[in-house]
């Protein structure tokens, strides 16, 4: 297998994983729990833009009480969960079309995958408790009365979509390293001599030896 064909194979393997990563970006990544009971969830897009999907009963309760859900703070760095898969698709396309050398393309794939791994680690450590404390302190400023700290009742659970994304990024990074290293190693490997050439050389030596014996 030639080096160019091998690099295209790696690009073809990474492309569907990048598509899956794009889809998972819009699937819930974390669950928000109150006293162990799930009250809402947030996808990668919602984490980046400051949104959250509350459970149906909480939405109805807020509507009955006339409360407006302002949502959590935006975490714009999670937009990398959208841009990185798009960049992976672009790099895979350039490699597959032969417009990007395998070494450069594989290096870019590995670096983008590393960024994706970092994003997933951040997603697995999302914590709303500190944000809840700040919001509670701001609400208590006008009255000067401190409300009870309820942040200890809040917890966050990481969903399988985050671990799935993390696994795909690790596999993509490994394929990127292989794409950068293997074709280069193949180019520096000397070609094996053909069997016909070896046979002809051995036959020639045998013929010379027979000629000497006859003399």
User: Domain 3-214 falls in which CATH fold?
Assistant: Butyryl-CoA Dehydrogenase, subunit A; domain 3 (1.20.140)
Burial readout 141-180 (b: 16 or more C-beta within 10 A, e: otherwise): eeeeeeeeeebeebbbebbebbeebbebbeebbebbbbbb
The domain locations on the chain are 3-214
Q: How far apart are CA 168 and CA 212, in angstroms?
A: 67
Per-residue pLDDT tens digits for 10-58: 899 999 999 999 999 999 999 988 877 888 899 999 999 988 888 776 5
**Pairing of β 37-43 and β 53-54:** antiparallel
User: What pLDDT is recorded for position 121?
Assistant: 96
Whole-structure pTM value? 0.75
Q: Is the pLDDT reported for residue 82 higher than 80?
A: yes
């Amino acid at each position: 297998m030639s080096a160019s064909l091998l690099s295209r194979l790696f690009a073809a393997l990474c492309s569907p994983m990048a598509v899956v990563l794009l889809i998972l970006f819009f699937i819930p990544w974390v669950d928000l729990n109150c006293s162990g009971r799930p009250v809402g969830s947030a996808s990668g897009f919602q984490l980046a833009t400051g949104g959250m999907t509350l459970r149906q009963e909480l939405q109805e309760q807020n509507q009955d009480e006339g409360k407006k859900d302002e949502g959590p703070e935006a975490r714009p760095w999670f937009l990398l969960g959208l841009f990185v898969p798009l960049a992976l698709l672009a790099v895979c396309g350039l490699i597959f079309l032969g417009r990007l050398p395998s070494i450069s393309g594989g290096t870019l794939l590995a670096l983008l995958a590393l960024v994706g791994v970092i994003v997933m680690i951040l997603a697995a450590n999302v914590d709303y408790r500190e944000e809840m404390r700040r919001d509670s302190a701001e609400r208590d400023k006008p009255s000067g009365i401190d409300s009870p700290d309820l942040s200890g009742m809040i917890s966050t659970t990481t969903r399988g979509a985050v671990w799935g994304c993390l696994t795909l990024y690790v596999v993509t990074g490994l394929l990127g390293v292989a794409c950068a290293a293997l074709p280069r190693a193949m180019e520096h490997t000397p070609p094996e001599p053909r069997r016909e050439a070896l046979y002809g050389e051995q036959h020639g030596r045998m013929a010379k030896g027979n000629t000497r014996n006859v003399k």
